[in-house]
A = this chain, B = another copy of it.
Amino acid sequence: MDNLSNAICTEVNQNGLPESLRRIELITSKKIQFYNTDLLDARGIAQIFRDHKISAVIHFAGLKAVGESMVKPLEYYENNVAGTINLLKVMREYNVKNLIFSSSATVYGLPQYLPIDENHPTGSTITNPYGRTKFVIERILEDLSNSEKDWCIVSLRYFNPIGAHESGEIGEDPQGIPNNLMPFISQVAVGRRPKLQVFGDDFKTKDGTGVRDYIHVIDLARGHVIALDKVFLNKWSGFKVFNLGNGCGLSVLEVIDAFEKANGVKVPYEIVARRPGDVDAMFADNRKALEVLGWKPHYSITDMCKHTWKWQSKNPRGYRSEDM
């Protein structure tokens, strides 16, 4: 289910599927049953639980734009926090107590040390409402699993997901000027924007530009599948958190360079002012995921750049058909 609020193209085909899901059907050769339902609609959620025998939920739903969250915090808390509370209540009602949750490295706030492991403090130095919604949801999940011992909840803290499916059929399609580096790079490379803006070159890093931990979306997706397997096979219980990151930091200039080399294209850029709240460097200690989940990232930055470019060059206007 999705409320499609993040989708730029909400047209559905004759089976009620938006374009992105139609492509997933193509790739997987599996039929998708899609519900256009909002987590704020508790009855709508309950209907899905009545229609199906569900053994676990992967909860990806949520508003996720940092800048927008500073303008519309109430909408972020409502959608993300109140929406999750609704979901949890329905899950409990239907006795579904296995949950994988999309969390974020933003819960760590300003890094006190690097690489960041799961014991790094969370909460107090988060700089935006989006990050706080993820932090609050983790507290709810933790309190819930402390009070009811039959829950098994895994929170996966994403670092910087980039890339696309290697078929080039599904990928990132942000609305407006991209907030994130990789879609900005690929929109410049494909000619949708004239120049990449690099926000600051006076960070305390190797080349002055911000350093982040980029992780391929397919590696990220596999992390969820592996977590789900662990939940079922190992009969886990309680609340567990894992960093999903590559474990190494790359600067903005390194990513631009990797993109140009991987794809043989030029990405013109200019250095502009830093954005408020951007930290020097942030990357994961991912050993817990490697050791406890048995997950390991497979894709290199070159793969991430190649797959992003395959998606972007095949779909210069994202999921929209050319005549829009």
Contact = CB atoms under 8 A, between A and B. Distances in A.
Interface of A: 70-74, 77-78, 81-82, 85, 88-89, 92, 121, 123-124, 129, 132, 136, 139-140, 143-144, 146-147
A144 B70 CA distance: 8
A138 to B, nearest CB: 11
A141 to B, nearest CB: 10
Contact of A85 (B70, B77, B121): B77
B147 A73 contact: yes
Contacts of A123: 123-124
A146 B70 contact: yes
28 contacts: A70-B146, A70-B147, A71-B147, A72-B147, A73-B143, A73-B144, A73-B146, A74-B85, A74-B92, A74-B140, A77-B81, A77-B85, A77-B140, A77-B143, A78-B82, A78-B85, A81-B81, A81-B85, A81-B136, A82-B82, A82-B85, A123-B124, A124-B124, A129-B139, A129-B143, A129-B147, A136-B136, A136-B139
B124 A73 contact: no
Given A77-B85, A78-B85, A143 B147 contact: no
Identical chains in the assembly: 2
Given A124-B123, A132-B139, A88 B74 contact: yes
Contacts of A89: 74, 78
Nearest to A71: B147
A101 B72 CA distance: 21
A225 B77 CA distance: 29
User: Which of A73, A123, A144: most chain B Cβ within 10 A?
Assistant: A73
A89 B136 CA distance: 19
Given A77-B85, A81-B82, 20 more contacts: A70-B143, A70-B146, A71-B147, A73-B140, A73-B143, A73-B147, A74-B85, A74-B88, A74-B89, A74-B92, A74-B143, A77-B81, A78-B85, A78-B89, A123-B123, A123-B124, A129-B139, A129-B147, A132-B139, A136-B139
Nearest to A81: B81
A57 to B, nearest CB: 15
Contacts of A77: 81, 85, 140, 143
Contacts of A72: 147
